[in-house]
Structure 1
Amino acid sequence: LESQPLFSDKEVKDALEASASTGEFWEDWEKLKSILSYYLKQVFSQYPEAKMTTEQQISSLGEAFPDLLTRLDDALYGFDEGPPFTLQRLCEILLSATSIYPHLSKLAFALEKNLLVTSTLSVPTR
């Protein structure tokens, strides 16, 4: 059973769109991390691979869908000090994922590439 998010869809979109257009962030990093994680799961659930059997997922994605989600979520939550310096691109990808990446495997690769960095952005500017 999914728990209710602590933020509205508008709040999610506003936060992601602001970071996508400016490359900066104004939310508390812990909150923004939760927003990104929440939206990542929403986006992934829109792909047909999310509804495949585990065997089909492994064949298509190289791993089971829940494992892929967990791996990306762990990478995101690995940023303790602040968001990855690729935050702007992460937000751009998530906001237009289905139009840019017709296949979940390509989306997962793009997100992973942007999460496997070590540099972070500094604290919010506002």
Structure 2
Amino acid sequence: MLEEAAQAAGDNERHRQPADLHRRRLGRLLGPGRRYPTLGRRALEMVDEAMDTGDLRARVVALENWRVQRDIESARHDERWKHMDTKIDGVEKKVDKISSDISRVMWLILAGIVMAIVTFMIKGGFAS
């Protein structure tokens, strides 16, 4: 009787935390050292259904579905960063243009100072 109660309590605990159980199972299926993102509720339900049957084919289907979802997420991330790269390139071009404009203004100011010194020297400079 006590053994049945302990087993029932263990089953309840296992059902309360299916995500941990499935992450460990997926960790074993994916191999050591492989990282994977947090699975969504639906993906865990699909894995839960597949893992309970014990059928290898169902496990493979669940992993394929998870991989498809991961590929979609990766494509979204790449597209978002592609857009950011375009924006950064635009900002870089604007900064280069501003830098060249400031350089031209600096050269004009230096040329004006040199012209003023030359004009001062031609009109007599310090001799007067």
Same fold (TM over 0.5): no
RCO (CA 8 Å, sep 6+): is it higher in 1 or 2?
1
Structure number, greater radius of gyration: 2
Give 1 or 2: higher helix fraction. Answer: 2
TM-score under structure 1 length normalisation: 0.31
